[in-house]
Amino acid sequence: MLQNVFIFSKDNNPKTRNAVDKLVDELNARSIRIEVFHMSEDPKPLSGVPDLVLSVGGDGTFLETVLRFRELGVPVAGVNTGRMGFLANIPGDEIGKSLDQLNRNEYEIVERSMLEIVKPDHLFEGDPAVALNEITIQKANLSMITIHVYVDEVFLSTYWSDGLIVSTATGSTAYNLSAGGPILTPGDESIIISPISPHNLTLRPILLSGNSRLKMVMEARTDECLVTCDSRFRRHPISKEIHISRSGTKLKTVMLAGRDFYSTLRNRLMWGLDRRN
């Protein structure tokens, strides 16, 4: 049974505000303690560790929620007021029903692997360079970037492309999917490397063990490349290697009873849509 819940939102549109207000009313009606956070506010001290964090918005808001609360080690559930709703998979019009399920423990915890840039340190000014979806290395201008990839210090290949996507299973349905990469189920610990517009016909996405340690050595006609970590980005000196590995912590997410990953694929991505079905 829930006793303490944090609510986090980023957007200030009417749909999100209404969903937050609805959550507050429903939680108060169940005598559950609430603390509300908004992206626009300066981070405030936490009053304790909640039983659950509710992210209200789209998948982008969910990623911001992870960044702010991941170290608490508590489950995160998303109420969707955005578009896709792959991570934020609780519909805004089912808040009351979903809260009842959460309060009755009618859900499954899905632990999701994350990625981390372990070198260089402090790439994002003190914030951990941890990604739930993907880390990318991209060209900084119109010219291609050349990336030499090593796996556990063993040379894999050289990619001539617009960049590389290093993705988790969670991120497999995001940027990786757009680049032709495979879809993995959320609990898979594998790492996917997918090139962005490769200038090599023989290079395709590759699936690696989740224990792999990656080293990226870059070359380009410019002095910088662009490094992204989910929604964050930095310009990075082309001469400095980037090392990526699986993060030491996982994110706990919620899958309500009666829902599953495959139905999300069918409903959100129209997976297998065929008039004959």
Catalytic annotation, residues: 59
First to last CA, the chain: 40
Contact 182, 205 (CB under 8 A): yes
The three-state (H, E, C) secondary structure of 174-188, written as one string: CHHHHCCCCCCCCCC
- Whether the CB-CB separation of 92 and 58 falls below 8 Å is answered with no
- Amino acid identity at 5: V
How many angstroms separate the CA atoms of 85 and 54, rounded? 14
Q: Is residue 267 classed as helix, strand or coil in its secondary structure?
A: helix
Instruction: Give the sheet arrangement for strand 206-208, strand by strand.
Output: 206-208, 191-196, 163-167, 134-139, 224-229, 232-237
Question: Rounded CA gap, 132 and 113, in Å?
Answer: 7
Please count the residues of the chain.
277
Could you tell me which of 164, 190, 191 has the C-alpha nearest to residue 179? 164
Helix (H) or strand (E) holding 157, with range, is strand 154-161
Q: Which of 69, 209, 181 is nearest to 130 (CA)?
A: 69
Spatial CA neighbour of 31 closest among 58, 5, 57: 5
